[in-house]
Amino acid sequence: MELNGVYFYTATILDWIPLLRQDKFKLIELNSLIYLVKKEKINVYGFVITPNHLHLIWSSLDMNGKEKPHASFMKFTGHQFLEELRNTDDQLLARFKSEINNRNYQFWQRNSLPIKILDQKILEQKLDYIHNNPLQKH
């Protein structure tokens, strides 16, 4: 994702596990977004959190240290999910055990999907999709 571009972004929990059904995991995501907004790293124009994925319309304004803000968001939330599950739910944590060499656990699927929003029509279409997404049968 390029800095200053507006994107429709989808991030999915590994294997569509409904981790985000619990409010404590939604709060981890919200607090991360709030932090990045307050640090003037992102703008958020719309979002929805479902039990197993989230959609955002956002723009990255500035690097967060050496990382782009979306990478910081994914990394931070993953670390917070790990910490919470270590303290509360070993059984659920085991579902996120990873065989990848450089990590023990993986919470987010690797194929997060950023779609650059090029005009007002696409922005409105994606915003309508976000607003209606929780109402659809899945």
What average pLDDT does the structure give for the chain? 93
Q: Is 111 exposed, middle or buried (0-12, 13-18, 19+ CB in 10 A)?
A: exposed
* Residues 115, 43: Cα–Cα separation, whole Å: 16
* Residues 111, 108: Cα–Cα separation, whole Å: 8
Domain ranges across the chain: 6-119+127-135
> pTM score, two decimals?
0.91
For 70-111, how does the pLDDT look when each residue is reduced to its tens digit (9 = 90+)? Answer: 999 999 999 999 999 999 999 999 999 998 877 899 999 988
Homologous superfamily assigned to 6-119+127-135 = Transposase IS200-like (3.30.70.1290)
